Structures are given as structure tokens and as C-alpha cells.
Structure 1
Amino acid sequence: MAEIIGVIEQLWRYPVKSTGGERLDSVEVDERGLAGDRLYAVRDSAGKLGSGKNTRRFRRMDGLLRLSSRLGHRLDGPELFDPLGRPVADPTAFLRAYLQRPDVALAREDAVSHFDQLPVSVLTTATLDWVCGAAPAAVVDVRRFRPNILLRTPPGTPPFVEDGWFGREGSGGGTRLAFVRASERCAMTTIAQPGLPHAPEILKAITQAHGGRLDALAEVVTPGRLSVGDELSLG
């Protein structure tokens, strides 16, 4: 028998990787993930993608998290907004001036995935509430952890309940997800963004208590549509 693990409280999509995202009431989910999620990124002349860290695929570009992006109902290109929330007429020209990098451009995903790890991130309110208690001096907000789904869990649900989902499948709104593992958190959780000051104590608390891991990452098994208010159950 299916076990209801929570109700979708928030849905988030991040049209341009490493920028602030858009909160949705409902969204189509395809094999790649939430439609349009991380579909675009800031790419430099070496082919590396703008991020909060340096890796083989990513290049640290400070300031991206102060921007935001939105697709709305169109998937032909994102709207980009400056740190004051004003729309940008020419995203590539703005990014070159803002980042002081003449070699960057706003680019659509091609052969190189824009995802850090897996395409869908689910975070519970039980775990988010734990972060609030573990870092009481910090301004804790779901935006720091950039999930696609914030799941409202029943009272009494323990933090890190997501760990028990790995190797199982969850379904809601006709969509089926296969839970694989947790995200390995980095300094992105601590970086200042509009309305949220720098908060290094958040990553310190997660690292000490849970090895720096937070949420449940999933692959899409069956595409469908997710909406706020949908129940999510484990099969």
C-alpha cells in the first residue's frame, strides 16, 4: 500500500543555472526534470558553466545568485532580472558588464548537462525546520537550498527523513520519481542573495550533523504534471 509522505507546498524552477528561480503553482515534468529547469546557463569561452564553485564543468562566477530568472509559460528563452528585480533587455550584454567578463554568454543546454547532480531535488519542511533550529542566528530560507519541491511533512516527522526514500519510488500528480541520494551541499547555501545575508553557520551545521548532505535527489521515471497541493506517496 502506498505511503503518503507529504503534500507539495512549493514548486521551484531555476531557468538560468545559479540564479534565483521562479515559484510555480504547477509544472510539467519530463524525462529531463521540471520543464525548463536549468535549461540555460552562463557559459564562458572555455565552455564552463557559471556556478558558485569551480569543477571540471563549472566555473565560479560571483554575483549570479543576486540575479533571478523566469520562464513563465514560454520555453523559448528566459527573462533575466538584475539585483534590484528589474528585467534585463539583453541578457548576454548585461552579464558581460555585470560579471566583468567579455567571454560569457547566456546559453541553452546542449551536450553538457547543466545539472550539478540529478534533475529533481525534494526537500521536506521537517528538514528545513531542523536547519532553523541548528543555525538559530542565520536567516534560513528554502531559497538557500534550491529544491524543486518543498514537501510539507506531517507533525513529528524527523529531520533527514528523505534518507529513508533512497532506492524507492515516489509518485504524485501522475509523475513518478526514483529517489537516488542526497545533494552534497557547498558554499552556495551560505552565499548572500536578495533578502538573505551571508550565513556560513548553515553549511557548518549541516556538515557536522549530516555530512553536508541535505534533500533527496531523484530521476524521472514517469513524466507528468506536479501542482502545489498534490500528495506525494512512496510506492
Structure 2
Amino acid sequence: MIKVGTVQQIWRYPVKGMAGESLDACYLGEMGLQGDRIWALRDVQRQEIQSCKFRPQLLRCVAQFRQLPYSGSEQHVDILFPDGQTVGSDDPQIHERLSSLTGHDSTLESLRPISQLDFYRRHKKDDHTWLAELKATFDREEGEPLPEILDALPPDAEDFVSLPGTFFLVTPFHLLSTASLAHLQQLNPEANWDVQRFRPNLVIETLPGMEGLVEQAWVNHKLYIGEALIDCNSTTPRCGAVTREQQSLQSDTSILRTIVQKADQNLGIYGVTKKSALIKLGDEVFLDA
């Protein structure tokens, strides 16, 4: 094994599509970080779970667990809205506030058992509109390619907006490196490459001398993070969400143009947990040789 860096940041997102909370430590299990994406917005008319791809206004909210450490899937969260008001997930006003924010009649829902498949179903008025809607969220300009992943979606993706039993689209764990962020900052120095734009679970501070999009070479390899083991299984193609306004970030379309044109559309990688453990800031990160 070779050392590639240390854990610099840990991020958990209690509500799908919203900004989350920075942690000093968190348990990493088969379903990702404990407490990650256990709440989500559901469109009442479409009867469909929504993400920041379709409801970018969610990115302007910050969600945090009311009590730490996280202790269960029904634990409530407090949501900081763009106007500075904080509303709890157990407040009767929460659904009205989220409906007003997004412009669509919506409710805040917690995870349900995988047996309730209809809860996770995709809204489809025909056999093709759902895919056109999904492709549109990638905000590609003329001549720019769409991610290959859209041509090889798993069969369930046609029927479900997330992996049933979860609010994850692909895998429950996402990481990126400081080397990649520094590389793109050099290519587009006028942009603000704040890590919160990209919603990783983990930011790895790579070793001195490691430059470029280093984690792309980690795909199909394993990472040892403290006592945890991660199978790096794919790159992370980027959509228009990275350009959207957030609490402390302005909208910037140049971010996506740089990623598409200079990074083969990808920033960061997805992973699957092979060995669960508590991960902490400062944990050493090793790549299998």
C-alpha cells in the first residue's frame, strides 16, 4: 500500500439536496456516513423524491441534526433557510416553507423501508420524458458531451429516482482530493472552488507533489481510511448543481465549463464501503498497490 494523504474534511448531509454539516468524526457503514441523506423533499403532485438537480433552491438551505451524536433515523433536523430563519423537521410549518422556497407543493420526508417501493418511484408520464428531464439537469452547452453513465443506467434507474431504501442516486459515499481542487483552481483562478459546491463526504488532503486529478486513477482500487475500507468504483460526472447559488456562494457557470472541458466532466469519485469503521479528521489514507 502507498500513502496518498490524510482526511482533511468530513461532510454529512442530513437532507438530500441541502448543504450539510462539517464533522470531526463519523461512523462509516454500508450506507455511507451515519445519518447521511435520511431526509428528502417529496413533490406532492409528482409523488416523487426531489434532489438539487431538479430543485436547486434546496442548496440555499443548511440542514443539521438537532442533537449530536446522531442516534437514529427518526432524529429531527433543523433547517436554516435563506432568509435566516431556522425551522425544524418536526415544525408544522416545514412543508409550507419548503413549498414556498421551491415553488412546488412539497413535504419533507424521512427514509422509509425498502418494502415501500412506491415511495421511491420515478414520476413518468411516458417512457422517455423522464430521461430528457434528467439529461437537461447536466446543463451542457452545444458541443459538450453528456456523461456516458446516462447511456448505461441500471434498469432500476428508469423506475426509481434513488436506490430503493435510500436517497442515494449512485453510491452512498463520495470523496475528492485537495489536489484536484487545486488543479482546477489553477485552470480557472477567477472561480471560487469552495469544496461545498461539490458535496463530498470526504476531502482527502493529498501528499506534497501529488498534482492533477489524482483520484481518477484510484477507480477500481481500494482505499484504506483509518480502519475503514472503501472500494472506489466510479468517477463522478458533474451536473448543473455545481454552478448554483448556495448560502455563501454565488452562481458561477464557469465552474461546470471548466470541469466538462478540462476534467473530462468528472470531479471526485464514488465509493462503496467494504469495511465499516469510525473515520476521523487526520486519519491516514492508503491506496492498494
Q: If the length of structure 2 is used for normalisation, what is the TM-score?
A: 0.75
Structure label with greater radius of gyration: 2
Question: Counterpart of 1:225?
Answer: 278
CA contact (8 A) 1:124 1:150 kept: yes
Q: 1:35 to 1:83 in 2, by over 3 A?
A: same
How far, CA to CA, are the matches of 1:191 and 1:179 in structure 2? 27
How far, CA to CA, are the matches of 2:20 and 2:242 in structure 1? 14
How far, CA to CA, are the matches of 1:93 and 1:226 in structure 2? 37
Q: 1:145 to 1:62 in 2, by over 3 A?
A: closer
How far, CA to CA, are the matches of 1:171 and 1:84 in structure 2? 41
- Give the C-alpha shift of residue 85 in structure 1: 4.3
CA contact (8 A) 2:223 2:285 kept: yes
- Give the C-alpha shift of residue 49 in structure 1: 2.0
- Give the C-alpha shift of residue 30 in structure 1: 1.2
Secondary structure, in 3 states, of the residue corresponding to 1:15?
coil
Q: Which whole-Å deviations, capped at 9, do the CAs of 1:37-87 have from their partners, x for residues lacking one?
A: 11111011333222233xxxxxx1231100010124234122211114432
Question: Counterpart of 1:92?
Answer: 95
Secondary structure, in 3 states, of the residue corresponding to 1:52?
coil
Question: Counterpart of 1:48?
Answer: 48
Q: How does 1:175-190 map to 2 (within 5 A)?
A: 175-190=228-243
1:215 and 2:268 are equivalent in the alignment? yes
- Give the C-alpha shift of residue 29 in structure 1: 1.0
How far, CA to CA, are the matches of 1:85 and 1:120 in structure 2? 30
Aligned residues: 227
- Give the C-alpha shift of residue 161 in structure 1: 0.8
How far, CA to CA, are the matches of 2:263 and 2:225 in structure 1? 28
Task: Select the structure that is richer in strand.
Answer: 1
Match of 1:63 among 33, 57, 66: 57
Q: Which whole-Å deviations, capped at 9, do the CAs of 1:164-208 have from their partners, x for residues lacking one?
A: 111111112211110011111001111011221111111101101
In structure 2, stretches of 5+ residues that fail to align are: 115-163
Secondary structure, in 3 states, of the residue corresponding to 1:98?
helix
Question: Counterpart of 2:108?
Answer: 106
Q: Which letter does structure 1 place at the counterpart of 2:76?
A: G
Match of 1:73 among 66, 69, 74: 69
Q: Which letter does structure 2 place at the counterpart of 1:28?
A: Y
Q: Which letter does structure 2 place at the counterpart of 1:8?
A: V
1:173 and 2:169 are equivalent in the alignment? no
1:161 and 2:214 are equivalent in the alignment? yes
Q: Which letter does structure 2 place at the counterpart of 1:23?
A: S
CA contact (8 A) 1:117 1:183 kept: no
User: Between the two proteins, what is the percent identity of the paired residues?
Assistant: 30
CA contact (8 A) 1:122 1:150 kept: yes
In structure 1, stretches of 5+ residues that fail to align are: 54-59
CA contact (8 A) 1:68 1:85 kept: no
How far, CA to CA, are the matches of 1:163 and 1:151 in structure 2? 13
- Which stretch shifts more, 44-53 or 220-229? 44-53
CA contact (8 A) 2:18 2:52 kept: no
Superposition RMSD in Å: 1.5
